[in-house]
Amino acid sequence: MKEISKLTWAPEADERERIDFIYYLPDKKLKPVSAKIVGPSKSIAYGKRVEEITKDIFLKPIGVWPTDHKAVLAVFELKQ
């Protein structure tokens, strides 16, 4: 596993403070079903690896996660 010093870009900061959104135009035929964070449940905060304490659902990778960014995955139901 990589050293934390090689993963962090701001060791004195809380690097988890990122906000991601998924925007969609409300429509009677489109219903949001679920949303998850894609990526590891651990992050770098103040130069240390920490487990996230949140109610958010994580879709964890099977192997190595190749970036310090996470993604947001939203599932919608399309009604006809």
- For 10-46, write each residue's pLDDT tens digit: 767 766 666 788 999 989 999 999 999 998 888 877 7
Q: Report pLDDT digits (tens) over 49-61.
A: 888 888 889 999 8
Q: pTM value? A: 0.69
pLDDT of residue 29: 94
Which of 14, 2, 19, 6 shows the shortest CA–CA distance to 72? 19
Reduced to 3 DSSP states, what percent helix, strand and coil does the chain have, rounded to the nearest 5? 5, 35, 60
Q: Write down the pLDDT at residue 70.
A: 86
pLDDT of residue 17: 66
- Cβ–Cβ under 8 Å, residues 48 and 25: no
| pLDDT-based confidence at residue 6 (cuts at 50, 70, 90) | low
Q: Name residue 48's beta-bridge partners.
A: 45
